[in-house]
Structure 1
Amino acid sequence: MPGRGTAPRQAPLAETHRRHGLPCREHTLHTDLNQDNFIITPDDRTDVDWAFVSRGAARVELAFLIPWLLKAGHTPPEAERWTSQIPSWVQAPTGHIDRFASVFAAQGRTATQTRKDAWVKLHADLVEHWNDHRHQKAP
């Protein structure tokens, strides 16, 4: 199992994309970009926790980043403006991002039924907030 300091391995995200009718291009994805997974030491050595590494479309990395941007205080439109600086996000069909947001939110709802960690609930709420924005629902 990958962990801090180990090389990435392939995981089943590509198959999940195919199951939900989303196209998948094979890029290495971290899928959990947040301040706790990157450690930069005083001597400029960088350690990266690759626990959730996967393969998939590059825009998926940005979708996984959105909840962390929301947690940092950005609104969904602000987070998407930031992701719109990256070509893979801009080139993605809107329907694919909408579908990913829906599946991501459903996964979060499922996770909160079996896990009681506070961060799981917070993350699920943030993803749901983004999904509501994608589908123009009032929070």
Structure 2
Amino acid sequence: MPTHRYTEIPADALSIIETLAGPVLKAVTVSTGLNSEIAARIYNNADEIVFVKGMRVDHPRVWTQEREAAINAYVQPLAPAMLWHVLHGGWDLLCFEEIDGPHAGYEPGSPHLPLVAEAMQALAGLPMPDLPLKTMPDRMRSYSDTPDLFAGEQLLHTDWNPHNVLIADGRARLVDWAWAARGAAWIDPALWVIWLIASGHTPEQAERLAAECTAFADAPGPSLNAFARAQNRMWDEIAGDAPDAWTATMQTAAAGWHRHRSGRVTS
């Protein structure tokens, strides 16, 4: 969705940010996120930096703010810590600690690749929180004839856009948990495969990287085949008849993985 400039939000909302974050010396809008109406780095007079994101309370996807707030305590230290969550001036606002580092590079040879795999493996070790998260069978039901193959009790991030992975202090940190879900433990690395292909890897190379995660290495072949088919259908729907450059790239990557796995009957 379009990202508003920080100064475009109402004065009441701006005032509560300054009350909670401290006097604002500078606000830098972050335009790479897709799940917020505003996203900004806030610099205060204590030489501190925090990250604030928000939506109007009547926005149809404001539930993503509630989801991120609810899940944050369960995904430490993989995610930046939430500092506060407030509804004020018609806006739902979240504040997180700032992570000082670049977005992950997924291209072949990137030094970030093993760090992302380590974070994914660490996520697989976290307990499933007692939250009403959507299941992957439910999410994939429109795209698969066998969605129950995707069932499981693993906490999943599911949105492995490299803009959601920050590299700092020698490790990967995961942001934007709005699409967290419950499902089979191999699904996050399987979703990463498509992003890796979109970033220049062959399907074989992408699967080898994903296999650094135990759950993917041990995943049943028929389940991976079914998931690749479902992702291909999903990205075809997202891209539609006139895809933009980004959706066209993802559609091509999903189709490439599906072709790679088509006809496999491995157990």
Q: TM-score, normalised by structure 2?
A: 0.44
> Deviation string for 1:85-135 (max 9, x for gaps)?
222112211111001100110111111227744312211111101111112
Query: Does 2:184 align with 1:32?
Result: no
- After superposition, residues 1-139 of structure 1 pair within 5 angstroms as 1-3=63-65, 6-8=69-71, 10-16=133-139, 20-39=147-166, 48-113=175-240, 116-135=243-262
Conserved 8 A contact 2:158-2:181: yes
Whichever structure has more helix as a proportion of its residues is 1
Conserved 8 A contact 2:196-2:206: yes
Conserved 8 A contact 1:29-1:55: yes
How far the C-alpha of 1:28 sits from its partner, in A, is 1.2
Q: 1:86 to 1:31 in 2, by over 3 A?
A: same
> Deviation string for 1:36-72 (max 9, x for gaps)?
1134679x9x561112211111101011111211122
- The whole-number CA distance in structure 1 between the counterparts of 2:255 and 2:185 is 21
Conserved 8 A contact 2:135-2:151: no
Conserved 8 A contact 2:194-2:253: yes
Q: 1:94 to 1:114 in 2, by over 3 A?
A: same
- The whole-number CA distance in structure 2 between the counterparts of 1:22 and 1:85 is 22
Higher relative contact order (CA 8 A, sep 6+): 1
- The whole-number CA distance in structure 1 between the counterparts of 2:135 and 2:242 is 21
Q: TM-score, normalised by structure 1?
A: 0.79
How far the C-alpha of 1:30 sits from its partner, in A, is 0.9
Aligned length: 134
Write the letter of the residue equivalent to 2:175: V
Gapped regions of structure 2 (runs ≥ 5): 1-62, 72-130
Conserved 8 A contact 1:32-1:52: yes
> Deviation string for 1:4-43 (max 9, x for gaps)?
953436124243467524151111111112321134679x
User: Which one has the largest radius of gyration?
Assistant: 2
How far the C-alpha of 1:82 sits from its partner, in A, is 1.2
| Aligned CA-pair RMSD | 2.8
Conserved 8 A contact 2:156-2:181: yes
Write the letter of the residue equivalent to 1:106: R
Gapped regions of structure 1 (runs ≥ 5): none
- The whole-number CA distance in structure 2 between the counterparts of 1:103 and 1:38 is 24
- The whole-number CA distance in structure 2 between the counterparts of 1:47 and 1:61 is 12
Conserved 8 A contact 1:14-1:24: yes
Aligned-residue sequence identity (percent) comes to: 30
